[in-house]
Structure 1
Amino acid sequence: MKGGSINLSKKLRKIILSMIYPFILLVIVILFIFGYYIVKYKQITHNVSVSSAFNIDFKSSIDLKMYYYTIGNKQQTTLPISDVEDAITLAESLKETTYRKESIKALQNILEYCSNLKKKMRMIAETKDYDNRKVQLENNIYVLTMLIQGKMSDYIYYEAGYMASLEKEKTEYIKLVMALTCIILLGTIMYLLYYGLRFSRSITVPIGELCENVKNVGDGVFAIPEVNSNYCEIDQLNTGIQQMATRIDALLENVKEEEKMQHMMHLQLLQAQINPHFLYNTLDTIIWLVETEKYGDAVTMLTNLSMFFRGILSKGNDIINLEEEINHIHCYLDIQQVRYQDIMEYSINVPEQLKKIKVPKLILQPLVENALYHGVKEKRGKSTITITCSDQGEDILITVVDNGIGMIAEKLNFVKNSLKNSERVGFGLTAVHERLKLYFGGSYGVDIHSEYGVGTTVKVQIPKEFEQK
């Protein structure tokens, strides 16, 4: 599957959501606008209703009560201060839900007049002369209540005007929303036409190519072209058809050329020794080095990786010089040391006179990989992998030693029994053991010694001279 491929169902959801989102946003905007105006209307309607009820009887009520109080009528023996306080409370509550400047100013005037009215009431209460009380009633009380009533009328007038302006503003917003709806609807239709055709073509064209590839495979043509697509489902189909064509071709070639079967088995055996995570991690490390602008380190690592795979290929030869095998291990460990420099060191000691001895390729890399992943990585702190080649007369002894975590006795016995019974264990360990026995006989192979907490030693003994079968 390609890195940039996407899922068809996700693509469909994306298209559907890209059509729904504008309408959801439009609905939210509409609800917000109407909610805003509903709240405003409710506030203004309440303000006008309350202020109108106040304006109907405030002046007449206060004037009458103050008249009775002034003339000394028994119906009103106290000042109607509480009525004025109620008016002040009403004006202050209206200010909390009033937004127009003129209306707020009118309410402020009412509060000032009410405050003055209370003062004038107390002045009448403090005046004993009847005539002066009458004059104060007419010149102060009646005038102030008239002013309060007038300002409340002004407030009602301003609020009614504000209501009319809100109505006009709401109408303009509705027109705008309708225009926006038409634009979004038209854009959605155009989007569906464009992306719908494009989406259908992006599916039908590669499917048609896949069908053509299947037809070619049925006709015996196995060299089929890759089908490019942005969708993982089609990529999976393409990969499956490619693999099917490759396998059918390989099977037919095996039937036609029986003599190549052993070579293919050897090649698959060599490839099986390579841990795919090594390649993934190496490439990830190279990408990280490039991203951090460590170009020199990235080039060095790429060079080692190239030499590593060149050593794997070895021009198709299965038997190489010991020097080439050691160079291959150098490349492998140099690559790994970039990633595990904090926990791994290594040393290689090969006498010059042994470098031209012929050995099967890739017999050391699985052993070193085992030492790294099962020994060094499992131990806290830094460990060392040591590779030594020594002359043993007719044979050479290659030793891979690590002072990593080692193995407990039960695990060591399990590994030894697995090698003895040709059971798969470790990273290619059994494959190396079996190849050595295949090339040199049953007395050769891999010998392992390990102690938990101390480390592991793997010995490989190879004759200096042998005839390749």
Structure 2
Amino acid sequence: MLGRFKGIRGSRTLNIRTTLLLSYFTIILICIALVGSVAFSIAYNSMQKQVEDSNVQFVRQIEVNLDNDFHNKRNVLLAPYYSEAMIDGINDYASMKEQSRFLFRQELGNLFLKSFNITPIRDFVRFQIYYSDGELLSSSDNYKPWTAAQARASDWFRGTVELDGKVFFSGIPAKQAGAEEAAYATSLLIRDFANPDQFIIVRAEYSNDLLRNISPKSAATRMIILDSQDRQVYDTAGADKPLATRLMSRLGSASGQFWHAGAAGDDLVSYVKSRYSGWKIVLMTPQAEIFAPLEKIKTSALMTVAVAFVLAFLISVLFGRSITKPILDMYKTVNRIKRGDFSVRVPVGRNDEIGRIAMNFNAMQDELQHLFESKYLYQIRLQEMQLAMLYSQINPHFLYNTLDSIKAMADYYKVQDIGAMAQSLADMFRYNTKNRDDVVTLQEELVQIEAYMNIQQIRFDDKLSYVTEIEEELYSFPLLKMTLQPLVENAVFHGIERKRGKGLIHIAAYRDQEQMVLAVSDDGVGISETRLAELLARLRPSSLSDPVAETAGGGGIGISNVYSRYAIRYGERFAMTVDSRKGRGTCITLRLSESEG
């Protein structure tokens, strides 16, 4: 029989090992493949998004740099406007004699030579000044590419005239003789605003030093600068590689980004058009350049997955062989801890060791439930009866009758103060014990305060007095029970008692828009700044879990207790403020919403 059991146990143990081996290996295989695919997809999309955003930021930064540089170059061209003699010379040039013309041309050239020297521009090549009829008035060198007629017929001359005071930015024609070192030019029309016919055009040419400096550092990324007429001003790939017509047709908007299929593969094209110059900055990044790091990650990931598969298989084999021993150990352990505390029952669906563990676990849980119902509940009921017996020993009627007897004896012996104090104390106890509601009216709280103040006035003789100022409609306003007494008690013990001479406590209730304002103030000794700061620190939501005072010396139920109860009940619809100055008195104000909610 024992041998038969061992044989069955061994075969079932082998079945568990095989199941665990296949399940564990399959789960790991699926998880690694899933995680690898998701991780690669996320990395691919993230890298693409990052490069797209980076390229957009890069072309916009180039736009800003170009616009700033062009603006500075414009300021240099405005030099004649700072000299009234120059503007007069422009107006009178056509009627000047030859000697005057010579002197004016010389002064005009010197003015711009000084301007370009005072504000040095490293990529500056030359400047030329033309009159309205195309005549070359002055030049910084001997370069004279056009006759007067050719100058007037050129695109840059006509474009500058059309802009009438705005800078015209243009590229340099590739075959322009003697202009090998110049990449682009700026030209500006300068005239007297009252004389549109006589003017000069100042043209300054610049090399591509600035454009090279702002180009991307990556050799694979191509940057192209197009002027307002879509002519290539600068290209990091060289002037002999013009953009494809299909690509140029997609650069029509103010800015954009798209993928373009080129001869060598797909390129990410990002471009922006400058609002200042009308030029376009185009950035082309090959897809292979973008995802080159990702290919290395992909190769590493595949190698990692292959190693993980091998490790997963080995771990699965070891796990399957070792799983049966922990199961047998757990089976023996569960039998030893049947008297522990378990809250769930397991389904019994098999007859192997796991099934035996489940059956023993359920049996243990049944026993625990039986013990709970027969012993634990009995102990709870016993403690409840003992607690009820303890409460029954404190009979409030005995206290009422005793206080009534004291009052009767006081009346009999004509000791009115004792009778009044006993009556007030009895009223207070009745209010605290008979009224079991958490919420009472302001009227009920005031009656309680009346009894309390009667006792204190007898105690302090004529030192203490109080007044109330309540709007008639607020007597029925709901308050939490024991709201006023802690505040009045605080005023008596910490304000009036320590004061020399008489003291006054003032209780006021009035409306302020949609809130009821309840204020308890006194003209006592007040609170020092340090003590007030400590008190205000406790009147915050984080102090709701702090212990509260339980004695009169600590403030009775205390201001903190009143704050905590209202903060829990009303939340943001409640506010408490404490205003006090040393020697001036204290005022505690509660603000409550109309509806308790």
TM band (smaller chain): 0.3 to 0.5
- With the length of structure 1 as denominator, give the TM-score of the two structures: 0.38
Using CA pairs below 8 Å that are at least 6 residues apart, which structure has the higher relative contact order?
Answer: 1
